[in-house]
Amino acid sequence: MSHDRAAVAHDQSLAPRSVLAALDIGGTKIAGGLVGPDGALLHQVQLPTPARDGAGAVLDAVHGVLDRLARHPLWPQARALGIGSAGPVDIARGTVSPVNIPGWRDFPLRDRVAAHPAVAGLPVTLGGDAVAMAAAEHWCGAARGYRNALCVVVSTGVGAGLVLDGAVRPGPTGNAGHLGHITVDLDGRPCSCGSRGCVEGLASGTAIARTAHESGWRPAGPDADASAAGVAAAALAGDPLALRAYDLAARALAAGIAATATLVEIEAAVIGGGVARSGPLFLDPLRRHLAGYAPLPFAARVTVIPALLGTDAGLVGAAALALSPGPDGPAAAGRPTAVAR
């Protein structure tokens, strides 16, 4: 069933003001959605992100998505709006500085969205995209039922969000759980963050492709895929250099998860993102290396499970963040997942 047909099916049973509006903002696309009280994505629209065209052009695209959402019949039932954005973010100030949107530095995104005529009067909550993914998976995905979990996105970069004591814990600025910038190799590659040997520089899709190329791997044919997906295809075909690149990536992520488990005693590590879609190619060595890096009994119990919500997680998670208590959102009885400040 399409999202719009699902919306029609839900329409008769939805209580007034039970819908949540959501924005998912990244360097490639800006998506907007309407989410039901059960976490169902009822409607979505998206526009490409004009990331190289300046701050105003990107904001115009955000407004364009909001204009389209506001024309949907369910928009009047929206009770709050949540935003999941590429980061870094600062939820205390309501600003974002996405690495992949150069024109937005300390950009007051929350206030600019709240000023849109269609949004007037709705509480607006801002969060990082990885924290939104954690909120989504805890609400109605793979982390549902776990009181303590780390939810990781392994894609072009590596991001993560923490669920502790049954609540998403974004931290004071919204960046808690930023696993991608934990150092796991003291003499490793310099990282764009200014450190070196970070998980992101070893485990991301970009890093997997780089590792494979540095080891001498080359895709077959002049037009073959040299990305992490191409490395995955070669690994599945048994190429030893490609297999090694995935193993090294899984090892780096395992070290980061083990460090997190040792610090805060998580029960589960939920793995999503494009790299995780390679399935056992990535997850099997991840589990094997995690067993070696987390031998203490309280850390060794971590279960590694694939994320369930896929590309819907950004919008569903932004909607979950919209129900958070605190200065950025309303306290909501029966909210899907608490977000502690």
pLDDT at residue 220 in the model: 85
pLDDT at residue 99 in the model: 87
pTM of the prediction? 0.89
Concatenated DSSP letters of 248-259: HHHHHHHHHHHH
Model pLDDT for residues 186-229, shown as the tens digit of each residue: 999 999 889 999 999 999 999 999 999 999 999 987 778 999 99
> Which domains does the chain carry?
3-129 (3.30.420.40), 142-307 (3.30.420.40)
pLDDT under 70: residue ranges of the chain? 1-16, 324-341
Model pLDDT for residues 241-251, shown as the tens digit of each residue: 999 999 999 99
pLDDT at residue 223 in the model: 75
**The dihedral formed by the CA atoms of 302, 308, 309 and 311, expressed in degrees to the nearest 10:** 90
**Strand, coil or helix: 234:** helix
pLDDT at residue 221 in the model: 76
Check: CB of residue 302 under 8 Å from CB of residue 257: yes
* Strand ordering across the sheet containing 41-48: 41-48, 29-35, 19-25, 78-85, 124-128
Convert 119-140 to b/e letters by CB count within 10 Å (16 or more is b): beebbbbbbbbbbbbbbbbbbb
pLDDT at residue 136 in the model: 97
pLDDT at residue 327 in the model: 37
pLDDT at residue 9 in the model: 46
